[in-house]
Homo-oligomer: A and B are copies of this chain.
Amino acid sequence: MLTPLVTFLSDFGTADWFVGVVHGVLHETCPGVRIVDLTHHIPPGDIERAAFVLEAATPDFGAGTIHLVVVDPGVGTGRRAIAVRAHDQVFVGPDNGVLEWALSAPGAEVREVTDTKLFRQPVSRTFHGRDVFAPVAAHLASGLKFESIGPVAKLPLRLTVQAPRTVNGELVGRIMFVDRFGNLLTNLTERHLAERFPNAAPEQFEVEAAGYVIRGLARAYADAPVGSTVAILDSSGRLEIAQVRGDASQRLGLSARDDVRVRLRR
């Protein structure tokens, strides 16, 4: 009988030994655990970026997956440790907004992790990834009931997310992430476009960012010549600006937080 998958997302980097130690604790607490590293290259303490990665990555995992998230600049303060059951998955991490993707789900259940018997003892004041979050995730992977980790947590800290808005008839979103390939991932999804512009055909759209205008939505990177810039709904249904076989971020000088506007061509 295989255990659930445990994914692991952190800002630990891979040059030190912190990721390895957390893996060790997971194996020790849940023999046979199956671990999938999402990434450990979140810049130190960058809660917003980690929250986006969680939103982007976790829908591709199955029901029952346990997500361990350790981006925890407030370690050692009074910030709570929480677990959230949402999207048929469980998310374990600090109560600092990094679990926004789970917290914002309809019907999300939030528990405060308080049962110290679940922790690795003694609990340090500086490494709760090792002493608190990993043990709890591993116990859940071993079959611990979600309800057993502690009482319902009221008022978890929420991340302020600027939702897409409509301005002068245009849908205005923003770039959330520049990926490995220089693709610019936005907070606009297929659903946003369908709601704002029902029944519009792909070629009717016009996408503007930093004065640069892209006409039509491509269906694949290859729908346009090499070197050209396209707007495309990516593998997660997210509007993305890409350069065909190139780096759109470098080409356009755009990065996270820049605005993106979508309208229909006249």
Contacts and interface: CB of A to CB of B under 8 A. Distances in A.
Interface stretch (A13-21, A153-161, A166-174): A13-21
A221 interface: yes
Contacts of A19: 37, 39
A154 to B, nearest CB: 22
A21 B125 contact: no
A39 B14 contact: yes
B234 A124 contact: yes
Interface in A1-42: 2, 5, 7, 9, 11-21, 23-25, 27-28, 31-32, 34, 36-41
A interface, over-half SS? loop
B235 A24 contact: no
A127 B234 contact: yes
7 contacts: A14-B39, A17-B38, A17-B57, A27-B34, A44-B181, A75-B222, A77-B220
Contacts of A125: 219-221, 232, 235
Interface of A: 2, 5, 7, 9, 11-21, 23-25, 27-28, 31-32, 34, 36-41, 44-45, 53, 56-57, 60-62, 65, 73-77, 124-127, 130-131, 177, 179-182, 219-223, 232, 234-235, 240, 245, 247
Most buried by B among A32, A39, A40, A45: A39
A65 B21 CA distance: 12
